[in-house]
Structure 1
Amino acid sequence: MPLEVDDLTVELGGRRVVDGVTFTVPTGGWLSVLGPNGAGKSTLLRAVAGLVPATGRVRLDGEDLCRLGRRARARRVALVPQRPELPRGMTVVDYVLLGRTAHAGFLAGYSRRDHDVVRTTLRRLDLLGLAHRELTTLSGGELRRAVIARALAQDASLLLLDEPTAALDVGRQQEVLELVDELRRERALIVVGALHDLTLAGQFADRLVLLDDGRVAVDGDARRVLTPETVRRHFGATVRILEDPGGVVVIPVREPVRGRDPQPITATPKTRPTR
């Protein structure tokens, strides 16, 4: 069953941050949410997760997520936030184990399966060697992988990613998104992710939604959404679009400075002092 978002609207501080957003993502589908800073991407994801008050409707597998309790919702929806809360003094393995809280019994605690899921997740994200390190000792990239691991450990059918590749180098970006894509195919996950990198969005997502000022400005596949005209209009950038077997590649293009010829750069060789 799909994820259905209908006329979702969020007002914060008297301002409409998300304005009547509607979309559907099929089971096993990947939707990337794009837009300039302040477009409402993070708020949209938090509204779908039920973390901010919103009007409209969000249904998953035919079930109204707004009517579910927090525990029941956590078994269905996992969010990788842009700025996660990190408990002081907690180790990586204990942090990822928190992702199993919604599955644990009230009195029995975590089961053997919970610990097996955590171990498997740590291994797949190359975190086993860091399992007993405190979160505060990790690098930015290591911490990002730990946050993603906690979300994956939830075994939810809907995975919401808010800038999942932030603070990751190019290799780790590709590794994390390929892992998410692999799990999506294995588990028929629905993935909705906000990304700043337009090329990554176009390479991994089946469909793109571009937000501007809280509204859906453009909606469709990468070739429809990622055009030079659309990128210039909504991001103020000049780009070249290249076709690639895996999708499209967005390349920023530096506009020439008018009225000034580029000056050649010359290097003056150093001479050794004579003795």
Structure 2
Amino acid sequence: MSIALQTRGLKVALGGHEVLHGMDLDVTAGHWTCVVGPNGAGKSTLLKALAGLLPFQGQVLWQGRSLLEMARRERALALSWLGQGEATSLDLRVLDVVMLGRLPHQDWWSVPSPADHAMVEAALKATQAWDWRERSLGELSGGERQRVLLARAMAGNAPIMLMDEPLANLDPPHQVDWLEQVQCLKAQGTTVVSVLHEIGMALHADDVVVMDKGLVVHHGPCDHEATRRAMEAVFEHRIRILPVDGQWVVVPRSA
């Protein structure tokens, strides 16, 4: 198996306080890897460091190449990003927001090509946002905006996609839709790394990274017993992960 993302001795400090403490991590290409852990574990910080959005010490490698040696355009072509609560002008038309995902593929001052329009349409239809294409972002609910921003990330068609809390504001049916979209991305060879609070959804991933206090305490396939036990432990055994009708479900420890 090839490695899409890799860290060696990764350290990140925020406000003079070290948040990640010398982390080593290998993310398998073409897999969906989910990062879970309690609040303050450093999950979002890890994702931002992997994306090159935060200064760091140590190494971050994208497909074997040092992130720090890659040009900005090269990075934009290699990786798509969906962050928490991203600031986007609410006056922008939905179609134009999603077209921003195609900018790395366009020459300076060029107009969008037929291929750009086709990718944007496909992304909007995949997220069930096509009908809003002429509306402004400000006219949409929080969940609808999240689906538009997901479409923008998908339109970039990058081999690596990082998503920080992509299920925020999404109702259960659209969370299931998101799960199907991740499976489609995987089918076309995309490496997906997501931070999720929804443990039940995280258990659908190929691999789970369990974090606590700025460290990886476990990394393994979600169908391994050790992975589920590590997830229970990091939440102080306040949850249990049990098999129900062929699915893994999360229940309170008292249940």
Query: What are the residue-to-residue correspondences of 1:1-275 with 2, within 5 Å?
Result: 1-3=2-4, 4-186=6-188, 188-203=189-204, 205-222=205-222, 223-227=225-229, 230-231=230-231, 233-243=233-243, 248-254=248-254
C-alpha spacing 1:15/1:252, structure 2 compared with 1 (3 Å): same
Task: Quickly say closer, same or farther: Cα 1:55–1:245, change in 2 above 3 A.
Answer: farther
Cα distance between partner residues in 1 of 2:232 and 2:102: 43
Deviation string 1:207-235 (CA, Å, 9 cap, x unpaired) is: 111111111112212232222xx445422
> Matched residue pairs, number?
251
- Classify 1:247/1:27 alpha carbon distance in 2 versus 1 (closer, same or farther; 3 Å): farther
Structure 1 unaligned spans of 5+: 256-275
Identity across matched positions, percent: 37
Query: Which one-letter code corresponds to 1:53 in the other structure?
Result: P
Q: TM-score when scaled to structure 2? A: 0.92
CA drift at 1:240:
2.8
Is there any run of 5+ residues in structure 2 with no aligned partner, and where? none
TM-superposed deviation, 1:129:
0.5
Q: Rg larger in 1 or in 2?
A: 1
TM-score, normalising length: structure 1: 0.86
Cα-to-partner distance string for 1:154-190 (whole Å, 9 max, x where unaligned): 111110010111111111001112112112112x111
CA distance in 1, matches of 2:33, 2:244: 19
Q: Call closer, same or farther: CA 1:61–1:246 in 2, change over 3 Å.
A: farther
Shift of 1:199: 1.2
2-side partners of 1:22 and 1:243: how far apart? 31
Letter in 2 for 1:181: Q
Q: Aligned equivalents of 1:124 and 1:231: distance in 2?
A: 31
Query: Quick one: distance in 2 between partners of 1:6 and 1:182?
Result: 30
In 1, the alpha carbon distance for the partners of 2:167 and 2:103 equals 25
**What SS does the aligned partner of 1:113 have?**
helix
**Superposed displacement of residue 106, structure 1:** 0.8
- Shift in Å, 1:82: 0.9
Report if the CA contact (8 A) 2:82-2:149 is conserved: yes
Contact 2:19/2:214 (8 A) holds in 1: yes
* Cα offset, 1:84, TM superposition: 0.7
| Cα drift, residue 88 of structure 1 | 3.4
Q: What's the Cα RMSD here?
A: 1.7
Which range moves more in the overlay, 241-250 or 208-217? 241-250
Q: Does the CA-based 8 Å contact 2:232-2:240 persist in structure 1?
A: no
1:9 maps to a residue whose letter is K
Shift of 1:245: 7.3
Partner-residue secondary structure (3-state), 2:95: helix
CA deviation after TM superposition for structure 1 residue 119, in Å: 0.8
Measure the CA separation in 2 of the matches of 1:143 and 1:254: 37
